[in-house]
Amino acid sequence: MSDYTTPDPRTPELRTPDLRTEVFGLAPDEDASTGGRFAQWLDAESIGFHDGTQDPEDIAQFLEAYRNDRRVLWSVHDDAQPAGALGYPVGTYGTMAHTMNVGASHIEAHQITAVSVRASHRRRGILRSMMTRDLREAKDRGTPLAILTASEATIYGRFGFGSATFTQSVEVDVSERFEITAPASGTTTLVAREHAVRLAEDIFASFHAGTFGSVGRQYAYARRASGEWGRERPVEDRSVRMAVHYDAAGAPTGYVSYRFAGWEKTPRTMKVVDLVASTPSAYLELWRYLGSLDLVQVVTWDEAPRDDVLPWALRDRRGYSVKATDDVLWLRMLDVPAALEARSYRGSGSLVLEVLDDLGLAAGSFALSVSDGVARVRSVEDGSGADITLSVNALGSLYLGGVHAATLAAAGGLSAADAAAVELLDTLFGRSREPYCITHF
Ligand SMILES: CC(=O)SCCNC(=O)CCNC(=O)[C@H](O)C(C)(C)COP(=O)(O)OP(=O)(O)OC[C@H]1O[C@@H](n2cnc3c(N)ncnc32)[C@H](O)[C@@H]1OP(=O)(O)O
């Protein structure tokens, strides 16, 4: 890990001289009191997202979670605030690393999270300063790509990120019309709280190993899925229940955790908190279980895949409706050859890509040569013979196959020497299923 205390001369100057950036990892003896820098960082982040301040009793557990995630925290301090001003950081930023499934391998992705700047200090370049420094340092450490999940779609394009994976919010009518036509298999049953965290972790690990586009999850996920932690606080949420699907051989292959929306709500609604299936049959069996809950008219879930199989397995597909589509991962290349060589492709073919990047981190021309799904990539001198010219954002969107090159070309996001080059790009990068990430961070 680089020395975060040494300013990088390439970082743009903060436009206010009294601002000071501190970057810290969480030591085993980190202060977990409300006066410590960790609690102040958490409270500063809460301001940015309009959440309440932390309960002093919760800080030690958040510290344990963040240490497990090996997070690096950034805080920006204003040393010239008026007397009486809140002494917390005026800006926060965090990073961690988990793997991303790109088919042939699991690539280490630099994750960016918890970006916030206090209203009194916004639009002075605080975010730009942190992000340009961080991306450059991540590249210098040899990290192939950076990812984030965005609060707004308009912020991160300027830093070279492109939206790469998507999910849907769905509502499924589970009244009498609900019936899954595939034959039933295995057993789905509620599990005891003391086993739930381990089951959630193990099942997610199998899902992650087999799902293109999946990103490893942070410590809190399994705890929230099991109900051991609530949405806001690391204290039990008694309204959450978790059912596990065991296949015919007795192996746990999926779980769903859910919460009733209350008797006042009509139609009567069960909300899925988390649903993870490591096999196609576990997925359908979890839905069969949800459809068997009495006194419930609809089940809602915000993380369904865009190419969901469920409507194709229902006797009455009109009982399934899509309420919204959301972007999940935003992806930014830092090392184009390393990132492209890590993933698997379809078929064979060669193309020269010219990548444009305002921040200069990933710009260049690259000869991509794919043989039976395996890529070799080398930098070439200039882009004059390029088959495809595209922004680093477009390459980030294409990388996991979440959009067709032909769609980006029609939208003006890439240009090609000829239509055959776009077609070849789609053949190589295309996949039979959409990339699917159910990890937010
Ligand atoms: C990965 C995540 O954590 S996503 C969460 C992001 N955070 C939030 O949504 C919390 C609420 N918002 C905020 O805290 C702040 O407004 C931030 C962090 C989004 C922006 O911080 P600032 O320090 O004001 O940004 P900064 O001054 O560095 O602006 C950098 C550029 O982004 C643009 N920008 C900043 N915020 C936004 C926005 N919300 N929408 C569109 N553009 C924006 C600026 O106009 C500027 O553009 P330019 O450099 O091309 O002229």
Domain of 421, CATH number, reads 3.30.1050.10
The answer to whether residue 6 is domain-embedded is no
Q: Are residues 188 and 321 in the same domain?
A: yes
CA 336 – CA 333 distance, rounded (Å)? 6
Please give the tally of structural domains in the chain: 3
Cβ(440) – ligand 1 distance below 6 Å:
no
Would you say 276 is a known binding-site residue? no
Q: Are residues 128 and 24 in the same domain?
A: yes
CA 333 – CA 335 distance, rounded (Å)? 6
Shortest-distance Cα residue to atom 26 of ligand 1:
125
Q: Are residues 311 and 179 in the same domain?
A: yes
The answer to whether residue 158 is domain-embedded is no
Q: Are residues 273 and 374 in the same domain?
A: no
Q: Are residues 130 and 274 in the same domain?
A: no
Q: Are residues 128 and 182 in the same domain?
A: no
The answer to whether residue 405 is domain-embedded is yes
Q: Are residues 184 and 252 in the same domain?
A: yes
Residue 304 domain boundaries: 167-325
Q: Which atom of ligand 1 is nearest to the CA of 112?
A: 1
Would you say 116 is a known binding-site residue? yes
Would you say 59 is a known binding-site residue? no
The answer to whether residue 434 is domain-embedded is no
The answer to whether residue 151 is domain-embedded is no
> Last residue of some domain: 291, 325, 359?
325
Secondary structure (H, E, C), the chain: CCCCCCCCCCCCCCCCCCEEEEEECCCCCCCCCCCCHHHHHHHHHHHHCCCCCCCHHHHHHHHHHHHHCCCEEEEEEECCCCCCCCCCCCEEEEEEEEEEECCCCEEEEEEEEEEEECHHHCCCCHHHHHHHHHHHHHHHCCCCEEEECCCCCCCCHHHCCEECCEEEEEEEECCCCCCECCCCCCEEEECCHHHHHHHHHHHHHHHHHHCCCCECCCCHHHHHHHCCCCCCCCCCCCCCEEEEEECCCCCEEEEEEEEECCCCCCCCEEEEEEEEECCHHHHHHHHHHHHCCCCCCEEEEEEEECCCCHHHHECCHHHEEEEEEEECCEEEECCHHHHHHHCCCCCCEEEEEEEECCCCCCCEEEEEEEECCEEEEEEECCHHHCCEEEEHHHHHHHHCCCCCHHHHHHCCCEEECCHHHHHHHHHHHCCCCCCCCCCCC
Catalytic residue among 166, 219, 289, 441: 441
Cα 337 to averaged position of ligand 1 atoms, centre (Å): 30
Structure tokens at 440: 């937010």
Quote the ipTM score. 0.97
Cα 154 to averaged position of ligand 1 atoms, centre (Å): 9
Told to judge if 441 belongs to the known catalytic residues of this protein, a careful annotator would answer yes
Whether residue 267 has a cis bond before it, omega within 30° of 0:
yes
Cβ(14) – ligand 1 distance below 6 Å:
no
CB 359 within 8 A of CB 391: no
Cα 392 to averaged position of ligand 1 atoms, centre (Å): 20
Residue pLDDT tens, the chain, 441 long: 333 344 455 556 565 668 999 999 999 999 999 999 999 999 999 999 999 999 999 999 999 999 999 999 999 999 999 999 998 999 999 999 999 999 999 999 999 999 999 999 999 999 999 999 999 999 999 999 999 999 999 999 999 999 999 999 999 999 999 999 999 999 999 999 999 999 999 999 999 999 999 999 999 999 999 999 999 999 999 999 999 999 999 999 999 999 999 999 999 999 999 999 999 999 999 999 999 999 999 999 999 999 999 999 999 999 999 999 999 999 999 999 999 999 999 999 999 999 999 999 999 999 999 999 999 999 998 767 899 999 999 999 999 999 999 999 999 999 999 999 999 999 999 999 999 999 999
Q: Are residues 318 and 344 in the same domain?
A: no
pTM of the model as a whole:
0.95
Q: Are residues 236 and 133 in the same domain?
A: no
CATH number at residue 197: 3.40.630.30
Told to judge if 161 belongs to the known catalytic residues of this protein, a careful annotator would answer no
CA 85 – CA 104 distance, rounded (Å)? 52
Catalytic residue among 156, 166, 212, 436: 156
Q: Are residues 214 and 292 in the same domain?
A: yes
> Last residue of some domain: 325, 357, 386?
325
Q: Are residues 307 and 408 in the same domain?
A: no
Would you say 284 is a known binding-site residue? no
Q: Are residues 108 and 31 in the same domain?
A: yes
